[in-house]
Structure 1
């Protein structure tokens, strides 16, 4: 019997390449540890899958180009130096074609479920923020959630993404999740950090309140608000057994993340966002992360790609360090 991990994707992963300073772990970078061959079932210290989609952004009347985000996030992460050797799998990409977002969501869900069931933390490289609903489908269908694990979702975002549109888009994923949980007799545990009041109508705030959404506004997430941010983050971690961290890069200030469909006039400082990510990762709980809205066509000096890659790097190295220390 084969012991390889079967992950359904549309295109196979390409080998990672990057800076090479010499042999041995003293010169270790991500591209040295990522394999594209799922020749064992896991677990891995990191499992990557890409979601090449612009369709949700197009439907939401945003600036398209995020379908190339996975390629740029991989390139930015590849040369980042590792403090210790990890094991990592790149499973390849799910690609939305012919405007068929719904089918792409289902395929992404199948891929996420397979990777999470291998007992690995999963990193989904988007793509527009419609990626979050596909990620949710995988979490919903994973063994740990089907067996009763409580799902908790934290969105780092300037927007609630709770639009009630006729067709799913990059503005609807968390309302889709809420309705999906209602169909299963559950209430979605959804929380948001970094919400911008000028970017969300009063109707969206009322929708969030009706769904019981906990949130911190961007003006409540400054460097002088660390204690409040830590308390919010810790309460999120405690509220679930399985954690879904959705990172819309427009949560960051425009100077840090210019390459997004809707750059933030205010945003949450990188120091705070990175602190939140590390704190969640260090919990060691089953974790799926999606990174959304990187548009390489709009980026400046790869700033947004590097910011997104640094957050992924911090999540995975913090998680590994915490699990190793607790072993």
Structure 2
């Protein structure tokens, strides 16, 4: 479990010169200055969607665990890092929390930052996705693509939003507004998605690559082809895409999973493309983590996104 009484950003100090710095020494708390060119972290502390989806409760502790894992990371580039705090979902008040997240994402994008959202269950994606779509409301010709690294489609048909419904919810919103839905999933587990979900994906034109097909070459081509088809990208990472040996602390551990090296490669590929506009990383459940293994894996992926190539573009 995460110690809530420990300082939010703390860790080893080797020195105060630039070459010594770690994230906990470099990050700024709150939006006290311009965000332009920064990487802006924003927590979404929510268990509501996982609870509705009958998963393992504990993802609301994810944002804090992710900060703890990020704190000792070394600074090799002087990119501005900002922590915008948490949006906390109280009890079952998911829809209100998602609306607040959408507004915060839109504001961070308007400020010129790369927002990285620290979830929370995958219900986080509805708020993140709504935020980037709102940001591009005035330019409907821009193709906003969603690349989901996940063992699951999350296209469930339910009466209420949950961690299993966000991309169907977004697709329905886009259909109502006349925008196209461009969605691809890398890491799909065939045994963990029913025929109904595969049919839903096919009917929506979703591109997907099965976990067992995710070797380096095929994963790279899958991502490259999707990037070619869209203008800007929202990347969402469900940590259950990773093998359970690497990511035991998730809401629904994977039976197979995609190797960490492949997922890291994909993160580097999308960050270097210049199309990445927003990302979230979800389903970390510290209650079930082992030696902070899942949190550390997630922090490494965030580090890759924040430090690779030209992640922030106009």
What per-residue deviation string (whole Å, max 9, x for no partner) do you get for residues 157-180 of structure 1? 000000001111000000001001
- The equivalent of 1:268 in structure 2 is 258
Of 220, 225, 229 in structure 2, the residue corresponding to residue 230 of structure 1 is: 220
TM-score, structure 2 length as denominator? 0.94
**Cα separation, 2, equivalents of 1:287 and 1:19:** 31
Distance of 1:45 and 1:209 partners within structure 2? 37
CA offset digits 1:271-312 (Å, max 9, x no partner): 000000100001122411111000000000000000001000
The aligned runs of 1:295-306 (5 Å cut-off) are: 295-306=285-296
Partner of 2:107: 114
- Which stretch shifts more, 272-281 or 20-29? 20-29
Output the CA distance in 2 between the equivalents of 1:31 and 1:213. Answer: 39
Structure 1, 198-207 or 79-88: larger mean CA deviation = 79-88
Residue 211 of structure 1, aligned match among 198, 204, 217: 204
How large is the Cα RMSD of the aligned pairs?
1.5
SS in 1 for 2:274: coil
CA contact (8 A) 1:44 1:89 kept: no
Indicate conservation of the 8 Å contact 2:8/2:67, yes or no.
no
Over 6 Å off, 4+ runs: none
The unaligned stretches of length 5 or more in structure 2 are 1-6
Cα deviation digits, residues 197-249 of structure 1 (max 9, x gap): 0000011000000000000000000xxx3222111111222222221101000
Structure 1 match to 2:307: 317
d(CA) in 2 for partners of 1:293, 1:283: 26
Shift of 1:15: 5.3
Aligned length in residues: 306
Partner Cα distance (2:204, 2:255) in 1: 27
- Which residue is equivalent to 1:9? none
Local SS of the residue matching 1:319: coil
Of residues 285-294 and 301-310 in structure 1, the stretch that sits farther from structure 2 once superposed is 285-294
Q: TM-score, length-normalised on structure 1?
A: 0.91
Deviation of the 1:98 alpha carbon: 3.2
Equivalent residue, structure 2, for 1:185: 178
1:75-154 equivalences in 2 (<5 Å): 75-142=68-135, 144-148=136-140, 149-154=142-147
Paired residue secondary structure (1:275)? helix
Q: Tell whether 2:55 aligns with 1:65.
A: no
Q: Compute the displacement of 1:145 (Å).
A: 4.9
- In structure 2, what is the equivalent of residue 20 of structure 1? 13
Cα pair 1:127 1:293 within 8 Å, conserved:
yes
